[in-house]
Amino acid sequence: MSHKVFYAFTLAVVLTGSAASAHDARLHKGKPTVGTVESRSENSINLKTATGTTIVTFQDKTKFERGETQASAQEIQQGDQLTVFGTKLPSGELVAREVLLPATNAKGESHSHSTTH
């Protein structure tokens, strides 16, 4: 009997493991742009990528996430490694739809505080 419980528990962990990683960049729609924040202003950042620097702009509907929690543009700091999903304009500017922030900022400080939704 205890083996059946163990196998049922193991199966439940495996099946719910995919939900726990729902904010994995690979599971978001579109091709991500990954880079390091060089500078930021109120509604945009300069993101240094493997191909050069890209201006990323934020809109009211841009979503910011840090792992499983909601984040905000104000949490972005120079040196942070970001993953951005959005629309690339002919000008080269990237209009962000979703921005995935790192678990810790560029200074190594954890962002484990809770946010109010």
Count of helices and strands (H, E) across the chain: 1, 7
Six-digit token pair at 14?
């495996």
Supply the pTM of this predicted model.
0.69
Residue 92: how many other CB atoms lie within 10 Å: 10
Q: Inform me whether the pLDDT recorded for 5 exceeds 60.
A: no
In tens, the pLDDT along 45-94 reads 999 999 999 999 999 999 999 988 999 999 999 999 999 999 999 999 99
Q: Name 30's Cβ contacts closer than 8 Å, sequence gap at least 6.
A: 85, 86, 97
Q: Please enumerate, as own/partner, the contacts of 11-20 that have beta carbons within 8 Å and a separation of 24 or more.
A: 20/68
Six-digit token pair at 93?
């500017």
Domain boundaries, the chain: 25-100
Task: Name the residue with tokens 């040196």.
Answer: 79
Does 25-100 carry CATH code 2.40.50.140?
yes
